[in-house]
Structure 1
Amino acid sequence: MSSRTLSSVAVVTVTYNSSTIIAEFLASVRDSEETPPPVWVIDNDSSDWRETEVIALSFGAHFQNLGENRGYGGAVNAAVHSLPSDITAVLISNPDLTVATRAISTLVAALVEAPTSAAAGPRVLNPDGSVYPSARNQPSLRTGIGHALFSGIWPGNPWSRTYRQELPTFESSRREVGWLSGACLAVDRDAFSAVGGFDEDFFMYFEDVELGRRFLHNGYTNLYVPSASVTHLGAHSTRSNSAQMITAHHDSAYLFLSKRYSGPLYAPLRLALRIALRVRAGWQSVRTR
């Protein structure tokens, strides 16, 4: 495990048509620490990348247009690979959030205090101040199916509560979890590289679940650190394409489960999951119209 201090941390954020929101994010990073960490803005070849570049450079951030859309995980991997060798920890973040005071240093301190930790995630707040369940268990077959089938019509069902780790101490309890939301998490660079970074088979969604699974499989831990907080303003780049995003989410859910339950013996299960997820995606798409 590499030596981690705030002086060896970089922030990586992936943009896609984010020119209207990136300034607020960069300002929050600048104001979050007495000596703010360097920021790399990686654009997935969006139509407004030149505007995003101007804003990023005005905050002293590094900017790169990838020239193609590699998805969230692919863009993060490219950025982490290109960071200077003295960077040992990386805060991976969406651009549609704001970082609270000392959130970054708090996450880095948590990584230092827990030598086996590969990732540390903050408490994620919604714009209304409520807590988004950003630290969850790895989905088992039972909890995954129960959550998928009932979360929309029975939000308080026991499978969703177990999966989301909705505990009375959720807001205040630092603990090891199955995975952390990719919207914002700090990772140890060596551990991230050791497991291969994000799985680029996932273009969007579930790349964070899969990363958490591989961290655990390789003997690392994922640490939820609620004393650090960020406010997530929402899925800015996907808001106007909700039907397509619902389909993408369910496709990624199937990909994750098919990787976890691979092999010929699980073929009937994978077929059933594919059918069930397609039906659920169609039902949710109709509801959004």
Structure 2
Amino acid sequence: MSDELTVVTVTYSPGPHLDRFLATLAHATDRPVTVIMADNGSTDGAPERAVERYPNARLMRTGGNLGYGTAVNRAVASIDADAGDPEFLIVANPDVQWGPGSIDLMLAAAARWPRAGALGPLIRDPDGSVYPSARHLPSLVRGGMHAVVGPFWRSNPWTAAYRQDRAEPSERPVGWLSGSCLLLRRAAFAQIGGFDERYFMYMEDVDLGDRLGQAGWLNVYVPSAEILHDKGHSTGRDPARNLAAHHRSTYTFLSDRYPRRWQAPLRAAMKGALAVRAGLVVRKARRNQAKGGRSW
């Protein structure tokens, strides 16, 4: 196995975030790193400038805005066969800033968890608070109540249980990990066929974690490794559109888990409830955007 790591990031006019991503990457691992930027149609010139500035960065144009999971899959498929068959790869958003040794700490955890198909770090928001990136899988009750009452009652017990808000940070298996930064065992990623390309954006990481678990792999949270994620850079462009996409992806995920014919009424109920919720939060987002305020 090669010590060289491949880091895949999906770019879509990432602006100054990409430079911070690449600059801090040097502090995240002692291993040699190649970065593949799967570009979904950037128009700001940031990926091109990155290639000029960082010799380890490679630009791969996807030919259009294919969505996050599809772009990652294309990049992984493009990894050179002569790269030495590395055991791991990193998938991360371009608005991530790497903490010191963060990748090496995840690699050390992977050695402790040989059945870990995905490992994820502790993620901090720009204000320094910890983002709940290691969660249970969304059950019908827990996930449903989180979806229905979460936007209006943030301290509700279903959301707290789903997000594991009250759990102390500890290295442990979880249901799924935020796709904003993942260390993936390539054998596990290949076994399940990578990301499900039906998800244009949102829920592809939930689906990935679920399918890894069904295939016998673990999703392991590694809070000793830390990154910062400025997640507002993409969602802030058109929050109403993104919220609507989130609800469509949520229905795709849930309907897959209840596929039987006799479960059709349940699927219809979920679709209706999500449509109502989407209408409410999208209207709220548009009002807040018109006022110049936060949307979600």
1:40 maps to 36
Tell me, yes or no, if structure 1 residue 197 matches structure 2 residue 194.
yes
SS in structure 2 of the partner of residue 143 of structure 1: helix
Could you tell me whether the CA contact under 8 Å between 1:29 and 1:36 is conserved in 2? no
Match of residue 232, structure 1, among 221, 229, 233:
229
Report the CA distance between 1:56 and its aligned residue.
3.1
Give the whole-Å Cα distance in 1 for the aligned partners of 2:80 and 2:43: 28
Q: TM-score, normalised by structure 2?
A: 0.92
Tell me, yes or no, if structure 1 residue 54 matches structure 2 residue 45.
no
1:154–1:51 CA distance, 2 compared to 1 (3 A): closer
Give the whole-Å Cα distance in 2 for the aligned partners of 1:145 and 1:153: 14
- Which runs of 5 or more structure 1 residues have no equivalent in the other structure? none
Tell me, yes or no, if structure 1 residue 256 matches structure 2 residue 277.
no
Give the whole-Å Cα distance in 1 for the aligned partners of 2:127 and 2:32: 27
Report the CA distance between 1:46 and its aligned residue.
2.4
1:111 maps to 110
Q: Over residues 107-164 of structure 1, what are the superposed CA-to-partner deviations in whole Å (9 max), with x where a residue is unaligned?
A: 1111122111100000000111110000001111111111011111111211111111
SS in structure 1 of the partner of residue 51 of structure 2: helix
1:188 maps to 185
SS in structure 1 of the partner of residue 237 of structure 2: helix
Using the TM superposition, name which of 108-117 and 82-91 deviates more. Answer: 82-91
2:293 maps to none
Report the CA distance between 1:264 and its aligned residue.
1.1
Partner amino acid, structure 1, of 2:136: N
What are the equivalent positions in structure 2 for 1:166-181 lying under 5 Å apart?
166-169=165-168, 171=169, 173-181=170-178
Give the whole-Å Cα distance in 1 for the aligned partners of 2:151 and 2:92: 27
Give the whole-Å Cα distance in 2 for the aligned partners of 1:216 and 1:35: 28
Q: TM-score, normalised by structure 1?
A: 0.94
How much is the aligned-residue C-alpha RMSD, in angstroms? 1.4
Could you tell me whether the CA contact under 8 Å between 2:5 and 2:32 is conserved in 1? no
Tell me, yes or no, if structure 1 residue 143 matches structure 2 residue 142.
yes
Could you tell me whether the CA contact under 8 Å between 1:17 and 1:237 is conserved in 2? no
Tell me, yes or no, if structure 1 residue 219 matches structure 2 residue 216.
yes
1:77 maps to 73
Provide the identity percentage.
Answer: 43
Report the CA distance between 1:236 and its aligned residue.
1.4
- How many residues align? The count is 282
Give the whole-Å Cα distance in 2 for the aligned partners of 1:34 and 1:200: 33
SS in structure 2 of the partner of residue 240 of structure 1: coil
Q: Over residues 174-198 of structure 1, what are the superposed CA-to-partner deviations in whole Å (9 max), with x where a residue is unaligned?
A: 1000000000010001110100000
Give the whole-Å Cα distance in 2 for the aligned partners of 1:164 and 1:254: 19
What are the equivalent positions in structure 2 for 1:146-161 lying under 5 Å apart?
146-161=145-160
- Which runs of 5 or more structure 2 residues have no equivalent in the other structure? 288-296
Report the CA distance between 1:10 and its aligned residue.
1.3
Report the CA distance between 1:263 and its aligned residue.
1.9
Match of residue 280, structure 2, among 247, 270, 283:
283
Give the whole-Å Cα distance in 2 for the aligned partners of 1:258 and 1:84: 36
SS in structure 1 of the partner of residue 147 of structure 2: helix
2:60 maps to 64
Give the whole-Å Cα distance in 2 for the aligned partners of 1:82 and 1:99: 24
Give the whole-Å Cα distance in 2 for the aligned partners of 1:163 and 1:98: 26
Using the TM superposition, name which of 124-133 and 152-161 deviates more. Answer: 152-161
Using the TM superposition, name which of 213-222 and 18-27 deviates more. Answer: 18-27
Using the TM superposition, name which of 129-138 and 30-39 deviates more. Answer: 30-39
1:31 maps to 27
Could you tell me whether the CA contact under 8 Å between 2:119 and 2:182 is conserved in 1? yes
1:35–1:188 CA distance, 2 compared to 1 (3 A): closer
1:12 maps to 8
